[in-house]
Amino acid sequence: MILNKYSITSNDTKLYKHLDRLQLLQQGIASPILLVVSPTNQCNLNCDYCCFSERDKSLSLDYDYLKDSLIQFKNLGIKSVELSGGGQPTLYKHINELIDFVYDDLKLDLGMNTNAISFKLILQPVI
């Protein structure tokens, strides 16, 4: 694919879905759309190429603090949360409560960057 000055990347395309935010930005008002959260530094791998390999793997966010922060960002207008970070989000002690809180209570879209090795730790609803 050859890009030129008229090309639109996926990020540009996403911006068209949030023209209200673009108008606010033009008025000097910043209103976030997506919040990326790193709930824990714990990881079940030790990859040579990992840019977080020297991290303190004992660090995790306090759940009550995280919930309060998410409420504040919801009030600022975020539409989605992405769980990611220097560790494996599925290893976060409160991952199930966090997923329920973001999706069910805050009614936000939710994404996750994961190596999927520990998916079994996430409770699956019985259908």
**What is the full DSSP assignment across 52-75?**
TTTS-TT-B--HHHHHHHHHHHHH
What is the SS3 assignment for 102?
A: helix
Strand partners, 19: none
pLDDT of residue 51: 83
| Global pTM value | 0.78
Q: Is 19 helix (H, G, I), strand (E, B) or coil?
A: helix
Q: Could you read off the pLDDT tens digit of each residue along the chain, which spans 127 residues?
A: 455 544 445 666 777 788 888 888 889 988 899 999 999 999 888 888 888 888 888 899 999 999 999 999 999 999 999 999 778 999 999 999 999 999 999 999 999 988 888 777 676 665 5
Question: Any residues with CB less than 8 A from the CB of 55 and at least 6 apart, and which?
Answer: 41, 86, 87
Give the pLDDT of residue 46.
83
Say how far apart CA 16 and CA 48 lie, in whole Å.
38
Q: What is the pLDDT of residue 86?
A: 79
Check residue 9 and give its pLDDT.
55
Decide: 44 and 118 in contact? Cβ < 8 Å: yes
State residue 5's pLDDT score.
46
Structure tokens at 120: 């079994």
Q: What's the Cα-to-Cα distance from 60 to each of 99, 102, 121, rounded to whole Å?
A: 16, 18, 17
